[in-house]
Amino acid sequence: MTKVIMNGCNGRMGQVITGLIEQDETVEIVAGIDQYDGIKNDYPVYASIEDCEVEADAVIDFSNAAAVDGLLDYCVKRQIPVVLCSTGLSEEQLKKVEESSKKVAVLKSANMSLGVNTLLEILPKIVKILAPAGFDMEIVEKHHNQKLDAPSGTALALADCLNDAVGGDYEYKYDRTKERKKREKNEIGISAVRGGSIVGEHEIIFAGMDEVIEVKHTAYSRAIFGKGAIEAAKFLNGKPAGRYDMSDVIRG
């Protein structure tokens, strides 16, 4: 049995995970953390993680970037592995993730779905052929109108994946309105669309001379992220300090 603290338990993802865990006998939510107290859960809910002294094997976090510093301090202090899913982290916070992972097990992933993590595995092969052949690379992501961060964490992870595959010299372009000049070869354009209830779409466009390849992932429900996060919590249970990612979980 993996005992989980759900950080952000009353949010969209927190509630999806609460529902999924009710159907799974190998995992249990022993406490939730959320400032919003308008939802009745079958587990105790604390307004602040510092107040939670419940024994747990892992924390699953779907809250927001502002909550991440306190969360990492808590997990290091109490030696509880953490599945970190909130996006929009600053450079400083990313460094803190790295530092914290020297003291406790940290799995950080901007996208917990099998589909996106499979894309991250296969994209390098495509990029290594198309980028040297002169194809331009652009990413378009679409999300619901409640999302706080832009571009999405997944779009940035996809851009890093493309960039790393071809030597890391590409520049990310989020806005082309400020300058009047042609597109540079070493750019990866990243565009964010926000509207309605779109769960999440990520499209990678490889545009060459007279031909275009589009690789697209569409999330039709939040369950795909929830399932991945639960598997990640089970995987981290008992793991030593270190940095883990979804490829570790998928490969077992």
Instruction: Give me the residue label for tokens 């378009």.
Output: 140
Residue 224 near residue 115 (C-beta atoms within 8 A): yes
Tell me which of ligand NDP, ligand LZUJQKHR, none is bound by residue 109, counting a contact when its beta carbon lies within the kind-specific cut-off of 5 to 8 angstroms. Answer: ligand NDP
* Residue in the structure block whose two tokens are 């589009």: 214
**Is residue 52 a contact partner of residue 73, using CB atoms and an 8 Å limit?**
no
Residue 226 binds which entry of ligand NDP, ligand LZUJQKHR, none, with Cβ cut-offs from 5 to 8 Å by kind? none
Is 110 annotated as ligand-binding? yes
How many of the other CB atoms lie within 10 Å of CB of 180?
Answer: 6
Is residue 111 within the footprint of ligand LZUJQKHR (CB under 6 A)? yes
Q: Is 154 annotated as a binding residue?
A: yes
Please report how close the Cβ of residue 48 comes to ligand NDP at its closest, in angstroms: 7
- Considering the complex, what minimum distance in angstroms separates the CB of residue 166 from ligand NDP? 25
Q: Does 87 bind ligand LZUJQKHR (CB under 6 A)?
A: yes
Minimum distance of ligand NDP from residue 211's CB (angstroms): 32
Contact 20, 231 (CB under 8 A): no
Contact segment (CB under 6 A) with ligand LZUJQKHR among 151-159, 165-173, 203-211, 237-245 equals 151-159
Q: Does 12 appear as a known binding residue?
A: yes
Active-site option among 108, 142, 143, 202 = 143
Does residue 202 have an active-site annotation? no
142/243 Cα distance (integer angstroms): 29
The Cα–Cα gap between 136 and 211 comes to: 11
Contact 86, 62 (CB under 8 A): yes
Rounded CA Rg of the chain: 19
Residues classed as catalytic: 143, 147
Summarize as ranges the residues that interact with ligand LZUJQKHR (CB under 6 A). 87, 110-111, 143, 147, 152-154, 200
